[in-house]
Structure 1
Amino acid sequence: MKKNRLASFLLLAGLLAGLVFPLSAGATETQPVQTPAPSAAPSSVPQQQSALLASMHIEGTAALLVDDDTGEVLYEQNAHGKVYPASITKVMTCLLTLESIARGEHQLDEVVTVGDQVNYGIGADGSTAGIKAGEQLTIHDLLGAALIPSANEACNAMAQLVAGDVEKFVDLMNQRAQELGMNDTHFANPHGYHDPDHYTSAYDIYLMAHEAMKDPTFRELVSSVDYKIPATNLSEARTLHSTNGLVSTWRVRDYWYEYATGIKTGSTPEAGHCLVSSATKNDRNLIAVVMGAANYTENKDVNYFTESKRLLEFGFNNFSRQTILDGSSLDFPEVSVTLSKTDYVTVRPAGSLSATLPNDIDPAAFQRELDLPESVEAPVEEGQVLGTVTLTYNGQEYGKVDLVANSSVERSELLYRLDRIQKFFDQLWVRIVLVVLAVLLVFLFLRHLITGRKRSRYGGSRARGGRGSSRYSGRRRR
């Protein structure tokens, strides 16, 4: 009977341990992590490139076309390839000068005396406005001389004024380039005279020009046909003419573009002929970059003006703003809801998404990459962000929009409390405590059994001893 009692207890302890130890084992067992996978692209989505884009090619080493209102790249050709900026460098020099004015360090109409580094790093064939060391003129005049006739010495004068030294100013140029994200760029001088260590990319030129075009003085100057500097202490009055054939017909004819608003030319034997241009048409603003174009085509066309104008017209005529995701769309998977009597909630985009696209691309051809959980816990509030949808086409991302709950879902208090109890017992420390208690119970019970057996044996021996003494005593009394 005692052996049966011990066996029954051990079986009971084993069952108790069996209830506890699987929980503990489950805490260390590797479980598959379920992460929301992007939705597969429908088979109907066309994977070919736009025929319009494929047909476009610019005669130059690099080119770029950007919707300046949105920052979207519409066309690129070796956009991050290394090129020499030549006089397009002057955009950065003028940007830094205008920023020093915005900080209150200088004033636009401030009269300055040109420093002794006015001809720093300039060769004999550099473009000039005849500005001399010791000449007194306004900062606005220096800006006009740098941006309109592309005067190299005006850039040195501004550099020395802003930083006290041309080389220190170059350091500021490189620092500002990094701040603008111009990762393909290194400047060696303020004017663009050729230096092997003075380089950039078409994309970086756009970043620089975009920032500079935010300043109204810069925009006014780069769109000007000419600029007049009044007489100074060292010179008679001068009229300076723009080098940009899209803006002015003074230097070259037949390239004037009625929608052009700037920006800057550049040319050296090493860089070729370069132009960063801007235009506004029907309230749309584009910036085009053409680098390393030949000076003349076989038809004696001034190539960088022709190609820039062609690129701008390509953008205006063949691209339009299109909606690629409607904010009211409910065409998305339902998300399961736990801890509620409602099984799921529908989602919708938090807003619409538009893009400037070639006219031969159907917005319905975009792929939707979803990032949604398989389930969420109630309560869920209407408008609560549950995930995101990313719109792509041919691997290019066009934007990301939050996906929000389309309705509210209440929580079931009963299901919630049952879930809290389950989660409480799922905690590792709770499992450990249960295991310890089980072991302690087994130990105490075994100890009780062992102690009981010892007491039983001891009591039995005394009883048998007592009866024997009684018999022996009875015999002696007889």
Structure 2
Amino acid sequence: MAGISIGFAVWGSVCPEQDLWQGTESIAIESSRPVSEAKPQLSLHSLSAVLMDADSGRILYGKDEHQVRPMASTTKIMTCILALELGNPEDFCEISEKAAGQPRVKLGAPTGSRIRLKDLLYSLMLESHNDSAVAIAEHISGSVEVFTEKMNRKAQDIGCVDTTFLTPNGLDAEKQNADGEVIRHGTTAAELAKILHYCTKMSPKHDEFLTITRCRSYSFSDSEGYNTYSCQNHNALLDMTQEAVTGKTGFTGGAGYCYAAELSDGERSFILTLLGCGWPPHKTWKWEDVQKLYSYGKQNYFYCDFAFEENRLRIPLLGGAYKDWIYAVSESPGQKRSFHLLVSETERPVAEYDMKTILDAPVKAGDEVGVVRYRLGQEEIGQSHYCSEEDAAAWGLSYCLQRILDFWIF
């Protein structure tokens, strides 16, 4: 049987009671409320928004963050990172008739021209050119359809369950699946933040991604040198504050103004995403929402150190020879499990002990007894596995004879 108990860390360390989980019932743990309910509501223009700790990926604030919405050209964040991971930036991509026929905003390269993949990625992320997105997709995968399948698989791999990519450029799109259900190109504010977190922190190509998206201007020519192109970064936040790390704007008639960005004050880094942040003529509303979210993060979240002592724990032993208890230890007995966390003044991590309440003999040293899960709100931030410290034999005939002999002799 297993019992569950919790211990709290303070600014220093806490020592959990050794027999806290004894008994046959579990202590229920009250789960944190969803982000949208637990946090004070900011006055935002965006229909959906998220503020995320860029280091841990933990959502610190959300407004309707799990609602699926179209995301316009923030789609190109995934297009870019996938092309960086799968392609050779020095390869030349041929502009197809389909690519050349994409609507504005576009690079305007003529059908048949050849442009380096690297150059098209700057066109994609700085100017948000729709034809460059299609040319990249066709070069990497042979067709837009196959490339978007890879986009969806990548999204699933990084934990996105409500994101659907139908285009590599983010134009509003929908289609029917085999069951007749209408599927729309879209994501959630929470999952868009997760995608950007992957691009800037986890992808093996995160440095290349940041180099492209931080660039203010870029010029290049096609393979023959016939046409030269110049790109300017439309992420105005790069010029508004030195704390801007990266970002991507977007707009379609269906999506409204969208935005995804990372900002850092040198110690703390935040990712924020906005979906449906107004329609024309309210193009600047997104900068107001960015300021509110970023200010909220900097005013309410600070790094703190927490520690839990991993004690030697005593568990009852049933049917044991010569002993009624056995001790369990973690991988680092007697040590402290430490965490450096970005938290608000009211947040504390907890240790959830999920241990067997009774062990049946025989037990071997190293047998798993239970696990301690360290949590901050809804997020699991670590685990410690506990195992039996020593062997414990079960009583049998030889043990009974020895006990009888001991009784009569002593």
TM-based fold match above 0.5: yes
Larger relative contact order (CA 8 Å, sep ≥ 6): 2
1:163: which partner in 2? Answer: 141
Would you say the 8 A contact 1:355–1:398 is kept in 2?
no
- In 2: Cα distance, 1:52 partner to 1:81 partner: 17
1:193: which partner in 2? Answer: 171
Q: 1:246 to 1:375 in 2, by over 3 A?
A: same
- In 1: Cα distance, 2:383 partner to 2:32 partner: 25
2:93: which partner in 1? Answer: 112
1:287 CA displacement: 1.8
2:408: which partner in 1? Answer: none
Which residue, out of 198, 201, 206, partners 2:193?
206
Three-state SS of the structure 2 residue aligned to 1:247 is helix
Which residue, out of 270, 290, 311, partners 2:293?
311
Q: Normalized per residue, which structure has more helix?
A: 1
Q: 1:228 to 1:401 in 2, by over 3 A?
A: same
Would you say the 8 A contact 2:329–2:389 is kept in 1?
no
2:250: which partner in 1? Answer: 266
- In 1: Cα distance, 2:188 partner to 2:31 partner: 29
- The correspondence of residues 387-426 of structure 1 with structure 2, limited to 5 A, is 387-392=370-375, 396-404=378-386, 408-409=389-390, 411=392, 416-418=395-397
- The correspondence of residues 17-416 of structure 1 with structure 2, limited to 5 A, is 35-39=1-5, 53-54=39-40, 56-101=42-87, 107-120=88-101, 122-123=102-103, 126-196=104-174, 197-213=184-200, 214=203, 215=205, 216-230=207-221, 233=224, 236-248=227-239, 256-294=240-278, 302-326=284-308, 328-330=309-311, 334-337=314-317, 338-341=320-323, 343-345=325-327, 347=329, 350=332, 352=337, 354=339, 356-363=341-348, 366-376=349-359, 377=361, 381=365, 385-392=368-375, 396-404=378-386, 408-409=389-390, 411=392, 416=395
- In 2: Cα distance, 1:110 partner to 1:244 partner: 27
Would you say the 8 A contact 2:152–2:165 is kept in 1?
yes
Three-state SS of the structure 2 residue aligned to 1:172 is helix
- In 2: Cα distance, 1:159 partner to 1:295 partner: 29
Three-state SS of the structure 2 residue aligned to 1:262 is strand
- In 2: Cα distance, 1:173 partner to 1:246 partner: 27
Q: 1:400 to 1:113 in 2, by over 3 A?
A: closer
Three-state SS of the structure 2 residue aligned to 1:74 is strand
1:408 CA displacement: 4.2
Three-state SS of the structure 2 residue aligned to 1:293 is coil
TM-score (norm 2): 0.75
- In 2: Cα distance, 1:48 partner to 1:198 partner: 31
- In 1: Cα distance, 2:219 partner to 2:399 partner: 80
Per-residue CA deviations over 1:193-250 (Å, capped at 9, x if unaligned) read 12242111122222332333331222101111121124664754332111111114xx
- In 2: Cα distance, 1:348 partner to 1:169 partner: 46
Would you say the 8 A contact 2:303–2:342 is kept in 1?
yes
Per-residue CA deviations over 1:92-133 (Å, capped at 9, x if unaligned) read 2222222222xxxxx31223331221145x33xx31223222
1:370 CA displacement: 2.1
Three-state SS of the structure 2 residue aligned to 1:184 is coil
State the one-letter code of the partner of 2:270.
L
- In 2: Cα distance, 1:89 partner to 1:208 partner: 10
State the one-letter code of the partner of 2:216.
V
State the one-letter code of the partner of 1:139.
L
Q: 1:56 to 1:47 in 2, by over 3 A?
A: farther
1:259 CA displacement: 1.5
Per-residue CA deviations over 1:161-199 (Å, capped at 9, x if unaligned) read 222222333333333333333221222221111224211
Residue range with higher mean Cα deviation, 270-279 or 287-296:
287-296
1:269 CA displacement: 2.2
Q: Normalized per residue, which structure has more strand?
A: 2
State the one-letter code of the partner of 2:285.
N
Q: 1:404 to 1:265 in 2, by over 3 A?
A: same
- In 2: Cα distance, 1:262 partner to 1:189 partner: 22
Would you say the 8 A contact 1:67–1:286 is kept in 2?
yes
**Sequence identity (%):** 21
Answer with 1 or 2: which has the greater Rg: 1
Question: Which ranges of structure 1 fall in alignment gaps of 5 or more residues?
Answer: 1-34, 102-106, 249-255, 423-478
**What RMSD over aligned residues (CA atoms) do the two structures have, in Å?**
3.6
- In 1: Cα distance, 2:247 partner to 2:162 partner: 21
